[in-house]
Amino acid sequence: MSNFEKENRQKYLNEIIGNLEEYSYRSKRYNINYAVALCFCTKDISLNELVRVKRKTDKYITLDSNLCCVVFDCIDAESSKKAVQNLKTEVEESCLGQEFFSHVATSIEYESPLKLTNSLFVKLEEFLEDLKSKGNLVVNG
């Protein structure tokens, strides 16, 4: 992850976890599962103009202009993967050949919003390190 993302990671985690309180409560209390997708484009574009939340109970969370997450409510692991694939298909074209990252984690896999969110950022770090090693990403700092 570039220095910018590392410096802001705690802010991003707090933003996401704060938005997951209601979903987490309902998951624990009523066994209603949810999923969180983290999306990042290496091109400096505004993802909030590209990512469309389909259902009223889902939530789009802006973290930065080219970094966001989407919370999918009442969803199982397989459906969440399909939802992220649909989201990726919608957005990739607008990234104009730049790299696009998306990964999803579910409340089924992780017992806490913190662990769920951390897992997404670990995957993003791996993605960025891979791009950096291939020379497809210039990291400042």
Query: Domains of the chain: which residue ranges?
Result: 3-133
Tell me the C-alpha distance between 74 and 62, whole Å: 21
Whether pLDDT at 13 is above 70: yes
Q: Are 8 and 92 in contact (CB under 8 A)?
A: no
Return the beta strands (E) in the chain as ranges.
Answer: 34-41, 59-64, 67-73, 100-106
CATH homologous superfamily for the domain 3-133: Reverse transcriptase/Diguanylate cyclase domain (3.30.70.270)
Tell me the C-alpha distance between 84 and 45, whole Å: 19
User: Per the structure block, which two tokens stand in for 87?
Assistant: 């989201």
Q: Which residues contact 71 (CB under 8 A, 6 or more apart)?
A: 19, 20, 23, 34, 35, 36, 58, 59, 61
Q: Are 29 and 133 in contact (CB under 8 A)?
A: no
17-56: pLDDT as tens digits? 999 999 999 999 999 999 999 989 887 766 766 666 678 8
90-132: pLDDT as tens digits? 777 777 677 888 899 999 999 899 999 999 999 999 999 998 8
Rounded to the nearest 5 degrees, what angle is found at the Cα of 81, between the Cα atoms of 22 and 116?
45
Tell me the C-alpha distance between 95 and 97, whole Å: 6
